Structure 1
């Protein structure tokens, strides 16, 4: 006699549910990147036992910080791309994110230390002199305000003008990096540093600050405009006017996935295109499989990386009337980029892969140009202004794979409305242990976020397509409109929820097998550890 579980599973043709959303994105290894990038990224990832993609993300951040003001790429007449990037590598705690960031930033920090030794005393001397003269000027102003005659006031004004003429120009120690900084301070610091700065960090505190940690009001204007170098004017009631003509900012953050999800829940971040400016780098977690005595990074590999960054930092930056050096595409490279552009454009059409990701994908061809420019600088022993087809081919291949990473990222953030509705409905089913329900039941449960019936229908349809539920007809009890169908939940959904020790999980083939045969599942075996897609493969082998 068949068990009740087996009878229910027969409604699903004895198949397990298919996980919602895209598969875990493909590895970024074996693309054919320049040796200085590929060798260092592989060796550092092995040395620290971390995902290769996280190291690669940080490497691009450092490369961008070193060259963003010095070069731009001209794709065609009237169209140029700068070389700054916004990068995110989301990984859970315990993945040694700080160790990666500290290792990769070494050349930048070494350069900053050199500049401090060269200009630090000059900056301190100029500041001291300015403070003294400003105090003297303030004293003269007070005297002028108390003067009883115009002649006395004019004498004070004359002295004030002479003192103001003696004020030395501020000397700012050159910097590349910022950390926990407010939007107003970022604008001021960028003005001091040639309108160019980078944030390369292992935590996402910057996002909390710009979301309104101190002001309770999101302030994204500068961070949005600094992606493409748009002019930005900052005027505050009690502050100094700051005018930035061509600000460029590099952001590289290896934050925790929860930070990314909280950003997605803020309508300002997604609605104003903030998240659409980022490239996402996901890597498979190595937790549970790490070596206690991994190989170290070869001295020659680390030296080659440091030398490349130092050589870029030694070049003059484009500021004021001195524009950045322009890299141009060879005819072959332009044809490869054009083919890539048309390929992305086709995927933006209704029903295609990127139809729900137009804000991010619309910027992808330009992002590929930026990646190509950085790859070109990393691969050239000397500065060559012609960017060839091999470099563009590698950048296009990287762009194609990063598309999968972006699809995974936006799905994980719940920015795709049908997927978000399906996930909310699935959470309700698991949380209330629902085994059978109607469309109206589901609508009542999650209508706070999805008030429209069409939204619920899309979410329920996605759950049905992925095998989480199956519709069963409800017999009519009399005249009038026939009732809508009910939905039966796959037993594996609750089997996974009951044995995952509180870890959200997608049901697996093993859950289906164990429920149908009434075999209990061991603690944790039905769950999927976050960001470890290889777990399901190992689980199937066990079955």
Structure 2
């Protein structure tokens, strides 16, 4: 029988010949983290795993902070499960030791106090280690005394420089824990199925939620508009979720879109005899027109000519319906415009990969073609010229996009020439679900049959009822909902678009934010009222649900634009980081950075405030202590910053 590792008893700071440490403070800091997410943030700001003296505590700290970064609970039960899965539970003393830790801290809010003790003692151990090295250097008898002194100074400088520094975070990394898709804001039958698919596939709810929204949009595209009283929006969305390879994107995609593909197949079968009959009628009419034209050419009499002209006009008025198409996959922008024209201006682009965006960016043609993409989001007219035929004209186009792709493909989207300048990037609702690869288990819960059947039946009902509409319908809002839209637009979102505001760095995306909420509200409304949603106005409760989803997308958009380097603050911060890497100063002033980096993008010293604050948040620099001001006063000195000792290391 294997023996369980027995934890050491708590100790005070009675070090004796041992290196400086305080197991009681380490236990209290970890206990606070297990009890409170706020304590996790407080402790993690002050220490790193190697600051803990006991190896078991290093494992516990690393596990707690990893779970917290992934947005998962870090309570004793969750930590125990994670350690059991990784095979490290016995190394930390088993589940009972986790209970010991929570009992060792009087108040979780004191976690920061104990963390400072842990950090201080880690620093003392570094001093002891450095002293031991210096003793060894002194006794070695090798080298000039000046060289020995320089070595000693280097060791001490290293200890001093690393004091309170933690590992910096990559500039391109997504910071913080992004919110999960609020499935509860979707229509009840949609949210239940999306949650069940997420549980069954062991994937984050984000992917199922985004694809559910795209499925609803597929039903509404080209059929429904939403009128706020100030402007109108076509009810269609472009949503893109970026997930790592092997994260089961295809399984979620198949489950969420199965009713859409089944409905398309049914429509094709339903229209087949209609298309055959129309084609035969057209063929007979064309043949009759040809026959009468030949007769008129031969007879040359007025009646024969009149008969031929009448037959030709009748044949010209006949047309053969195109095969119904709800969904396209890998298609060029040119063919997309043509297909939209064939389908009366409505189509969905649904795919578990992002190959379409490479084609859009001009992978094969060498030139990006954004016109159809832009017009079909705004509901604008599209004209398709055809060789030897009259051009097709779509008065109101509407495209849905629901794509799950890999982060590399997302980078390709952002690299599209003109993508941001022409508004391509601003039209997309981005999602960055948490990475689930490596944390899945052998057990999963199948989707309940009744939940799947309800989703299939109701989505199909919505698809058919909107497909059969002969003219587009316009949804309206209740007076209260219209007032809420006005407040949202001018009082809440508009101030966020200022340069210093929350959405100031993505003003192009933020400018379409309220419009996206209006579209989402219409989709939720249609899902709640399957057969008569167009006969009743959208209420405030529905609008608030859409706002919750909109806030989800806003947070993810900020992360995506930042990670992709399209946020000016990130771009300038990268330049600052490159400059620091090349010059490797231990300290610099904001004036030094401005002089070195002054360009059109950094036209004044204030342009560096946000980038320097970002680098400080990520741990690459930190404000230097402000020296006392002199008696003469005068101009305040330029802010100074200390530089992380590992600044020349890798940054991505």
**TM-score normalised by the shorter chain: which range applies?**
0.7 to 0.9
Q: Tell me the SS of whatever aligns to 1:357.
A: helix
Structure 1 position 471, deviation (Å) = 8.2
Q: TM-score, normalised by structure 1?
A: 0.75
Q: Does 1:102 align with 2:254?
A: yes
Counterpart for residue 176 of structure 1? 326
Q: Tell me the SS of whatever aligns to 1:283.
A: coil
Contact kept? 1:197, 1:249, Cα under 8 Å: yes
Change (3 A) 1:15 1:124: same
Structure 1 position 326, deviation (Å) = 2.9
* In structure 2, C-alpha distance between the alignment counterparts of 1:107 and 1:170, rounded to whole Å: 27
Contact kept? 1:40, 1:305, Cα under 8 Å: yes
Return the match for 2:418 from 241, 261, 268: 268
List runs of 5+ in structure 2 lacking aligned partners. Answer: 1-126, 131-154, 626-637
Q: Tell me the SS of whatever aligns to 2:228.
A: strand
Deviations 1:414-464 (A, max 9, x none): 11122023235546767x7956698999999999xx775549973863465
Q: Does 1:41 align with 2:179?
A: no
Q: Tell me the SS of whatever aligns to 1:254.
A: strand
Structure 1 position 83, deviation (Å) = 1.3
Counterpart for residue 645 of structure 2? 491
Aligned positions of 1:29-178 closer than 5 A: 29=182, 31-76=184-229, 78-123=230-275, 162=311, 165-166=314-315, 168-178=318-328
Return the match for 1:340 from 468, 485, 488: 488
Aligned CA RMSD, in angstroms, stands at: 4.1
* In structure 1, C-alpha distance between the alignment counterparts of 2:611 and 2:226, rounded to whole Å: 46
More displaced stretch, 121-130 vs 285-294: 121-130
Q: TM-score, normalised by structure 2?
A: 0.64
Change (3 A) 1:212 1:161: farther
Structure 1 position 328, deviation (Å) = 2.3
Deviations 1:376-408 (A, max 9, x none): 122236524122222111111221222111101
Q: Does 1:362 align with 2:490?
A: no
Return the match for 2:538 from 351, 363, 387: 387
Deviations 1:327-347 (A, max 9, x none): 222233333333322211121
Q: How many residues align?
A: 476
Q: Does 1:331 align with 2:479?
A: yes
More displaced stretch, 324-333 vs 188-197: 324-333
Structure 1 position 104, deviation (Å) = 1.2
Structure 1 position 264, deviation (Å) = 1.6
* In structure 2, C-alpha distance between the alignment counterparts of 1:185 and 1:412, rounded to whole Å: 32
Q: Tell me the SS of whatever aligns to 1:315.
A: helix
Q: Tell me the SS of whatever aligns to 2:439.
A: coil
Counterpart for residue 450 of structure 2? 300
Structure 1 position 230, deviation (Å) = 1.0
Contact kept? 1:51, 1:284, Cα under 8 Å: yes
Structure 1 position 232, deviation (Å) = 2.2
Change (3 A) 1:292 1:161: farther
Structure 1 position 61, deviation (Å) = 0.3
Larger Rg: 2
Q: Tell me the SS of whatever aligns to 1:243.
A: strand
More helix by share: 2
Q: Higher relative CO (CA 8 A, sep ≥ 6), structure 1 or 2? A: 1
Q: Does 1:247 align with 2:411?
A: no
